């Protein structure tokens, strides 16, 4: 009972915080909210017992937690009524969460640097957009093809990891990311720097996602469709992540994160698992890219730069490596933060950089650090 209560209080507090953070306007409320967040994590750091108690209660009252969160997640757009901007922010948070989860396979589970997730995301987006614009394929049909193309790219990107590691491998991925960005910028058939415009909105059985959503006598902005679509995608990403994490594959990735030589010496084919991490990352990132392309209806190379990849790396590190909830928290925080920092207008990116560095120095294990696996009742 106590566990359930704690779960309910924490969950609603988190949801309320998210809502307040999103609608906060002006410097004072924003600073106050950030201070509150900082205070919470300071308390976690100072009194680990709080953290343990919360985690423990979520483990014990997991059905209560699930029920509360399903309600919160499904109902969240209704809190914002007609305001399309907030729903848009939520959709972007979800897309970045998917990308974060994708990158987490490498960065979090296996500790492989990848500064090219932005590029795989772009390949997914461009692939689907080109198929839709040139051949009139529907959103649903382009999804698997874009994912396939990106996965192939992921494999290719992963191949140099046979011979390189750490900083050198980081450079390989940077190089690939920059090359893809430059090619998208220069090719005529990708629309050059202008990119591609007029990507048709997805439709399901003739029901277009571009119209406002009417439910329970309420009218919600059309973005709400994409919110729910992104939810499906993130659910898929979470399922993939969990299944891999709780399998021999997740263990092998963790092993090579901890010590590559030792991993080889227990019989793990290190090269294969590295390449696999690249491929899985690319697969999920492509999904996010397709969703983005069909949501924004307009894509350009500058949506998929090196900086996007850096942002993603930061999300995973700040949120917590190898912790799915942590990665989602990181993605939400770092997607919303730059938007909210608009009140600092010109100082936005500066603040962003400072916040990232501060995070890395103060809580390097991330907001929600990785947890040990448990096998059944212990």
Partner 1 sequence: MSDAIFSAREVTIRFGGLVALDRVDIDVAAGEILAVIGPNGAGKSTLFNVITGIYAPSGGRVRFDGEDITGWQTHDIVMRGISRTFQASRLFSDLSVLDNVVIGLHTRTTTNVFEALCLPSRSRRELTWAAATATEILKRVGGDLYDRRYRRASELAQADRRRLEIARALAAKPKLLLLDEPTAGMDDRDTDALIEDIRRIKADRPEFAIIVVEHDMRLVASLPSRVVVLDYGRKIADAPFDVVRRDPRVQEAYLGQTEP
Partner 2 sequence: MEQVVQQVINWLALSSIYALLAIGFSLLFGVLNVIQFSHGDVGLTAPFIAMAVLAAASALFPGAGLAIAILVSVFAVGVLGILLDRLMIRRFRTAPPMMALVATVALGIVLRELIRILYPDGSNPHPFPVLIEGNAAVVGGVNVSWLVVAMMIATVLMVAALSAFLHHTALGTRIRAVSQDLEMARMLAINPNRIFQVTFFIASATGAVAGVFYASYVGLMRFDLGIIAGLLGFSAAVIGGLGNMTGAIVGSLVLAALDTLVQAVFPDGTAYRLVVAFLMVLAVLVFRPAGLLGKSVPQKV
Which residues sit at the interface with partner 1, rule CB under 8 A? 240, 243-244, 246-249, 251-252, 254-255, 257-259, 261-270, 276, 280, 370, 372-376, 378
Q: Does 48 sit near partner 2 (CB under 8 A)?
A: no
Cβ–Cβ under 8 Å, residues 338 and 352: yes
C-alpha 146/C-alpha 167 separation (Å) is 29
189 token code pair: 């058939």
Nearer to partner 1, 224 or 323 (CB): 323
Q: Which residue intervals of 159-259 are DSSP H helices?
A: 166-186, 223-245, 248-258
The closest alpha carbon to 94, from 275, 335, 283, belongs to 335
- Residue 342 Cβ vs partner 1, minimum distance, rounded to whole Å: 38
Taking CB under 8 A as the criterion, which residues in 261-280 touch partner 2? 261
Q: Which of 240, 310, 341, 343 binds partner 2 (CB under 8 A)?
A: 310
Q: Does 211 sit near partner 2 (CB under 8 A)?
A: no
Q: Does 45 sit near partner 2 (CB under 8 A)?
A: no
Residue whose structure tokens are 């969703």: 291
Cβ–Cβ under 8 Å, residues 231 and 247: no
Taking CB under 8 A as the criterion, which residues in 81-140 touch partner 2? 107, 111, 113
Task: Name, in order, each residue with C-beta under 8 angstroms of 112's C-beta and a sequence gap of 6 or more.
Answer: 106, 161, 169, 274, 277, 278
Q: Which of 149, 230, 300, 313 binds partner 2 (CB under 8 A)?
A: 313
Cβ–Cβ under 8 Å, residues 301 and 184: yes
| Eight-state DSSP code of residue 107 | I
- 7-15 long-range contacts (CB < 8 A, ≥24 apart) are 7/57, 7/58, 7/61, 7/64, 7/65, 7/68, 8/64, 8/68, 10/54, 10/57, 10/58, 11/65, 11/68, 11/69, 11/72, 12/68, 12/72, 15/72, 15/76
CB-side exposure of 205: number of CA atoms within 13 Å?
A: 0
Site string for partner 2, 183-202 (x = CB under 8 A): x-xx----------------
Partner interacting with residue 357 (select from partner 2, partner 1, none; CB below 5-8 Å by kind): partner 2
Report residue 95 CA to chain centroid gap: 6
Q: Which of 317, 327, 328, 334 binds partner 2 (CB under 8 A)?
A: 317
- Residue 189 Cβ vs partner 1, minimum distance, rounded to whole Å: 33
Partner interacting with residue 249 (select from partner 1, partner 2, none; CB below 5-8 Å by kind): partner 1
Give 265: exposed, middle or buried? Use CB within 10 Å, 0-12, 13-18, 19+: exposed
C-alpha 315/C-alpha 308 separation (Å) is 11
Partner interacting with residue 90 (select from partner 2, partner 1, none; CB below 5-8 Å by kind): none
The closest alpha carbon to 195, from 106, 120, 105, 296, belongs to 296
Q: Does 75 sit near partner 2 (CB under 8 A)?
A: no
C-alpha 241/C-alpha 104 separation (Å) is 9
The residues pairing with 299 across neighbouring beta strands, listed in sequence order, are 196
- Residue 159 Cβ vs partner 1, minimum distance, rounded to whole Å: 16
Q: Which of 163, 242, 246, 373 binds partner 2 (CB under 8 A)?
A: 163
Nearer to partner 2, 84 or 271 (CB): 271
Partner interacting with residue 82 (select from partner 2, partner 1, none; CB below 5-8 Å by kind): none
Q: Which of 346, 372, 374, 377 binds partner 2 (CB under 8 A)?
A: 346
Nearer to partner 1, 2 or 373 (CB): 373
Partner interacting with residue 25 (select from partner 2, partner 1, none; CB below 5-8 Å by kind): none
Q: Does 155 sit near partner 2 (CB under 8 A)?
A: no
Partner interacting with residue 67 (select from partner 2, partner 1, none; CB below 5-8 Å by kind): none
Residues found near partner 2 in the complex (CB under 8 A):
107, 111, 113, 159-160, 163-164, 166-168, 170-172, 174-176, 178-179, 182-183, 185-186, 261, 306, 310, 313-314, 317, 346-347, 349-350, 352-354, 356-357, 360-361, 364
């Amino acid at each position: 009972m106590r566990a359930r209560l704690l779960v309910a209080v924490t969950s609603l507090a988190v949801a309320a915080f998210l809502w307040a953070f999103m609608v906060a306007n002006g410097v004072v409320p924003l600073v106050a909210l950030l201070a509150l967040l900082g205070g919470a994590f300071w308390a976690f750091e100072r009194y680990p017992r709080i953290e343990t108690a919360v985690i423990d209660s979520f483990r014990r009252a997991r059905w209560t937690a699930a029920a509360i969160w399903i309600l919160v997640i499904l109902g969240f757009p209704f809190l914002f009524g007609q305001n399309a901007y907030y729903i848009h922010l939520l959709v972007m948070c979800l897309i970045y969460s998917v990308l974060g989860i994708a990158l987490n396979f490498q960065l979090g589970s296996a500790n492989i640097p990848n500064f090219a997730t932005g590029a795989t995301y772009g390949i997914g987006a461009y692939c689907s957009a080109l198929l839709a614009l040139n051949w009139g394929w529907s959103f649903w049909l382009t999804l698997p093809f874009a994912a396939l193309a990106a996965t192939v790219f992921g494999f290719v990107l992963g191949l140099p990891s046979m011979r390189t590691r750490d900083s050198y491998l980081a450079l390989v991925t940077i190089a690939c990311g920059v090359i893809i960005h430059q090619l998208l910028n220069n090719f005529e058939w990708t629309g050059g720097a202008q990119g591609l415009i007029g990507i048709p909105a997805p439709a399901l059985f003739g029901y277009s996602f571009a119209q406002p959503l009417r439910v329970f006598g309420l009218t919600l902005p059309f973005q709400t469709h994409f919110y729910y679509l992104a939810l499906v995608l993130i659910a898929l990403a979470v399922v993939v992540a969990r299944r891999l994490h709780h399998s021999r594959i997740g263990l092998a990735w963790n092993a090579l994160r901890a010590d590559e030589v030792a991993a080889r010496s227990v019989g793990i084919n290190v090269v294969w698992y590295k390449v696999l991490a690249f491929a899985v990352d690319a697969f999920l990132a492509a999904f996010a890219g397709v969703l983005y392309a069909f949501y924004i209806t307009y894509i350009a190379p500058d949506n998929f730069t090196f900086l996007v990849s850096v942002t993603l790396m930061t999300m995973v590190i700040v949120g917590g490596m190898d912790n799915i909830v942590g990665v989602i928290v990181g993605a939400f925080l770092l997607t919303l933060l730059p938007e909210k920092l608009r009140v600092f207008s010109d100082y936005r990116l500066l603040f962003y950089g400072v916040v990232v560095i501060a995070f890395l120095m103060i809580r390097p294990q991330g907001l929600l650090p990785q947890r040990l696996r448990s096998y059944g009742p212990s």
